[in-house]
Amino acid sequence: MKFNTKAIHGGQKPEKATGAVVPPIFQTSTYAQSSLGSDQEYHYSRGSNPTRTALENSLASIENGTHGFAFSSGLAAIDCVLRTLNPGDEIIAGIDLYGGTYRMFTRLFEKYGLEFTYVDTDSVENVAKAITKKTKLVWLETPTNPLMKIADIQAISKTVKDVDSAILIAVDNTFATPYLQQPLNLGVDIVMHSATKYLGGHSDLIMGALIVKDAKLAEELHFIQFAAGAIAGPMDSFLALRGIKTLHLRMQRHCENAMAVARFLKQQSKVDAIYYPGLEDHPNHAIAKKQMKAFGGVVSFSLKDKSKEATFKFLENIKFFTLAESLGGVESMVNHSATMSHASMPEEERIKIGVTDSLIRLSVGIEDIEDILEDLAQALN
């Protein structure tokens, strides 16, 4: 199946008991067993639930994996990956990470004995130089949040595996979605999503996801999820599955509108830097063009007036863009990374990577582009 067909039919079958086309919400914690020690598929919903299974089959299909796992949040999914490691193991990660990921790495898992090395992952050489005998995981986020840097997934995967095939490579694919890039096809071991964002697509659920191809790794991840209990509920699973069915349509409009916004911002005298890989002057444009179908729905930019006052004035004046922590919904949203998504990062570290007080992140929705551009124009001027 091609992607658009997979989004609707991938891994899906009519429900057995009634033939329902849409998987029902199995709002149950436990299941009657025919006999002691029965080998039936469902026993207790922490282990598996039919609604969650339907979603996980869909996730595996659209990412070209074999096993999908739905978690209570994106951070719960990351937590599960890190639990495969042992004290003393080293993780190589990008310097430009989502603030919640950075917080988990530095404030939780460092004290449990994991070691983290941060490099600029838009350079393959930086990753290669950081590999040591203790390296067990390379964590990539591409495009990055909020500076929209692009890592060459295939080149990094090959380089890392040539050094040590046992090193796991994981990609946070939240910004791109499986519609734009499929990291498992490019040599990685684990794909992670904050399904709260584009996969759900309607700002009405919190969820994370992992997708893998290797059966042994899938077994380990399932055990950790079952033992720790960070599962997605049946109602959220139903909503996410519904969202996936229109992912391709929404992403087409997100990408079209975001490109128009990026080009509009380039013409504005009050705008300084623009971070969008679809622009030809973006330093990673060639890599993005190679590994992505289009360039995503997020555009970040900074104002020439670097004062907080100017930034806050823009944020207060904008109308159609909702000031909010999240992204990836059908509605346009605006985020001030320094005080929102990256508030937990020390100011010195935040500024060092480029998340300044004047940086603004736009999650461009699927509204009429004329209304979006008019709103940006009035807020700037």
User: Catalytic residue positions?
Assistant: 46, 98, 172, 197
Residue 168, SS3 per DSSP: strand
- Cα(270)–Cα(267) distance, integer angstroms: 9
> Looking at 240-366, which runs of residues are DSSP E strands?
271-275, 298-303, 322-323, 333-335, 359-363
Q: Nearest 5 degrees, angle CA 121-CA 73-CA 346?
A: 50
Instruction: Say how far apart CA 2 and CA 245 lie, in whole Å.
Output: 13
Token pair recorded at residue 35? 């006999």
E strand intervals along 201-347? 208-212, 271-275, 298-303, 322-323, 333-335
Within 13 Å and on the Cβ side, how many CA atoms surround 104?
Answer: 18
On the question of a cis peptide bond just before residue 183, with omega within 30 degrees of 0, the verdict is no
Question: What's the Rg (C-alpha) of the chain?
Answer: 21
Q: How far is CA 272 from the centre of its chain?
A: 27
CB atoms near residue 274 (< 10 Å): 20
Where does the chain show beta strands of DSSP type E? 67-71, 90-94, 115-119, 135-141, 168-172, 190-194, 208-212, 271-275, 298-303, 322-323, 333-335, 359-363
Residue with tokens 């087409």: 252
